[in-house]
Amino acid sequence: MPSEKSYLSVSNLKISSDLFDFVNSEVIPGTFVDRENFWEGFSKLIHELSPENKSLLKKRVDLQKKIDSWHINTKYKPYNQSDYIKFLRDIGYLVTEGPNFNIQTENVDEELSKISGPQLVVPLINARYSINAANARWGSLYDALYGTDSIPRDSKSDKKEYDPERGKKVIKWSKEFLDESIPLIDGSHQDATSYKINDQRVYITLSNGKKVALKNEQKLIGYTGSASFPESILFRNNGLHIQITFNKDHSVGKDDKANISDIILESAISTIMDCEDSIAAVDSEDKITVYRNWLGLMKGDLKTSFQKNGRNIQRCLNKDLIFQGTCGSEITIPGRSTLLIRNVGHLMTTNTILQDDGSESPEGIVDAVITSLIAKHDLLQNSLVKNSKTGSIYIVKPKMHGPDEVRFTDKIFQYVEKLISLPRNTLKMGIMDEERRTSINLKECIRAAKNRVVFINTGFLDRTGDEIHTSMEAGPIIKKGNIKKCVWIKAYEDRNVDIGLSCGLKGKAQIGKGMWAMPDMMAEMLKSKIEHPKSGATTAWVPSPTAATLHATHYHRVNVEEYQDVISSRKHAKIEDLLTIPLAEGTNWSSDEVQRELENNIQGILGYVVRWIDQGVGCSKVLDINNLGLMEDRATLRISSQHIANWLRHEVCSENQVIETLERMAKVVDNQNSNDPEYQLMSRDLKNNIAFNAASDLIFEGAKQTNGYTEPILHKYRRYKKNNDSIN
């Protein structure tokens, strides 16, 4: 924690001096916000809203105590779901749904309202990743296919050398994709020898000499270069752009009959810049890094450099793309993803700003104020590039529990708009449907933000963590790998879309689905993730720009609007199914089954936590027990720690068994990270290792943690690590 000398007393607040200087010298200039009035208003906002924030958190705890007591008191009675649902209504956990309505959100960019496509989520604390994600609006289909397992690799080929046979397979796959997305009247793109623009049409000459046009001429948008010898041609299908580039001198283009050098897909239509689950930000130093990167994105001047293969590489934000329209006028196409920012939820507090009584301020409120003030630069056009063309700021708010907490977020946003002189409802809200009390009350949650909601999504991982914690006393939960097959999961995924459509989100806001967590398994993603647009979701999360390009092909194959029209007429998923607890019918697992489950969970916990605590990495590819790289963040950690806590609570496993497994898996994780020069061994001194003790607390203190969240423990131990403090 910062020392007393590092704080400044300002308007009944004690503000970390580095944060105060950053806001005054870097953020406020150019916003037409008066410094003195800003800090005075900020202080008033914090002191007025903090008690309500605290009250809402107390309500979470009180509800959980009542649910725990109900399960304990009915433990030896036959389970009756009708009684359970009545009980949830009686205590106000499940609220009464009001009449039908449509959201009234206005001034939403088409990337969030009209266009269906992939969405990236990236840790904002990392400038390089943030720039790459913002630039992931466009991606090479050739590179995405060639560089992943999307097309099986010949085991004999050398990955370092170009494989011509593999290249042919990539080109064949890509041109078959063109045949499907922008088909010709006759023939195939594979037989094309030239593309020319004439009289607002594109004419393709085939290898047999025949000239053909597109089946749908409206898919042609524009071109660069000359009409007779275009350098690129731009098409649009299902709202997404496809760019074919031509270069006879290119290593690929010179061997192509039509000199096609690449096929570029519009990929990550939107990106969530994350201040929450995927980062480790525990003090003012970390928070300023996050805020400064956001400022660079909003002002368009964020840059970074790094070494690669002995060369210094510099990255900055892409400019917009300019094409010659078929009608003769120039058209501009966005060169970057439309950015949202995910603030911290209501739970955590921050020592960057202390109130007059010395207590820490709610971090979510601090995030809302500072990230909105930063985004005002985009609205005032103080930027080299443009994010929102409609004058909106998009804030995703995670981990809200029910309508009251959504209303509170709306209140925060109103206060912020007044504080920094923005029109009402400039701040748009993304509602993460990832907590049980939100998913069962989703309609009323949307109603509470009906004038600013711009996004809802499902987050299976956090939702599962909350499911386990909420039902901690109900009994032992089934094995973690089987939870995805439960009836409540399908009801949860379907109901999210059902309610989103019934509340008028179609054409006005995003309906999203969760992350593909296996970045090395793109072939499987291509097979599986097409179900997300088929589900009626307009977007779904991907872990990398490459994955965004591959997932974009699904939105060319699936017209989401047409699927939504069909889905709108189906019956909503039942609340009874949504409230079916994933309890094991018995605990007659063999000792080997229990041990394997523990090893799988504990290895994942240690592999993630050791990077979080020791290196400050909040999201990374972590090897699982089978050495498969999985994208891990706090949501996956929440599931694993809560699952073991549940099994301990119901004596499926013993404390000694968990301790022994922790000690043994620490050595496994150490071995898996042996090639990382920054890695610090846990097994050398387990008793005093900060990361190991953090992992242990997540398990043994898991049942006591508010809603099963991992942040309080992680933050405590990360601060120990950063300050070189002893854990004793």
- The catalytically annotated residue of 137, 292, 342, 463 is 342
3-state SS, residue 386: coil
Residue 582 three-state SS: coil
Are 581 and 483 contacting, i.e. CB atoms less than 8 angstroms apart? Answer: no
Sheet with strand 201-206: strands edge to edge: 192-198, 201-206, 211-212
68 is catalytic: no
Cα separations in angstroms, 2 against 7, 9, 125: 8, 14, 20
Q: At what angle do helices 690-700 and 591-615 cross, to 10 degrees?
A: 130
3-state class (DSSP) for residue 131: helix
C-alpha to C-alpha distance for 263 and 174, rounded to whole angstroms? 8
Closest to 653 measured CA to CA, from 606, 713, 592: 592
Phi, psi of 2, rounded to the nearest 5 degrees: -60, 150
Cα-Cα-Cα-Cα torsion 291, 292, 295, 301, nearest 10 degrees, comes to: -160
Amino acid present at 517: A
Rg of the Cα trace of the chain?
26
Catalytic residue among 633, 634, 638, 718: 633
Cβ proximity of 298 and 374 under 8 Å: yes
Annotated catalytic residue 633: yes
C-alpha to C-alpha distance for 363 and 344, rounded to whole angstroms: 6
* Residue tagged 């790459």 (tokens): 132
**410 close to 448: Cβ distance less than 8 angstroms:** yes
Alpha-carbon span 585 to 633, nearest angstrom: 30
Distance CA 91, CA 85 (A): 10
Q: Convert 421-437 to b/e letters by CB count within 10 Å (16 or more is b).
A: ebeebbbbbbbbbbbbb
Query: Measuring CA to CA, which residue among 393, 629, 661 is closest to residue 518?
Result: 629
With beta carbons less than 8 A apart as the criterion, state whether 10 and 360 touch. Answer: no
Q: Which residues pair with 215 in a beta bridge?
A: none
Contacts of 77 (CB under 8 A, 6+ apart): none
List residues bridging with 484 in a β-sheet: none
Task: Give Cα separations from 250 to 279, 285, 358 (angstroms).
Answer: 40, 46, 64
DSSP string, 62-130: HHHHHHHHHHHHTTTS---HHHHHHHHHHTTSSPPP---------S--HHHHT----EEEEETT-HHHH
Identify whether the C-beta of residue 39 lies closer than 8 Å to the C-beta of residue 28.
no
3-state SS, residue 710: coil
Give which of 571, 442, 561, 448 is closest to 500, Cα–Cα.
442
- What's 29-68 look like in SS3? CCCCCCHHHHHHHHHHHHHHHHHHHHHHHHHHHHHHHHHH
Residue 35 identity:
R
Cα dihedral 179, 180, 186, 190 in deg (nearest 10): 10
Give the CA distances from residue 406 to residues 56, 441, 503, 539, in Å, rounded to whole numbers and listed in that order.
11, 11, 16, 22
φ/ψ of residue 479, rounded to 5: -60, 145
- Under DSSP, is residue 673 helix (H, G, I), strand (E, B) or coil? coil
The answer to whether 429 and 397 have CB atoms below 8 angstroms apart is: yes
What is the spatial distance between Cα 238 and Cα 260, in angstroms, rounded to a whole number? Answer: 23
Give the catalytic positions in this structure.
342, 633
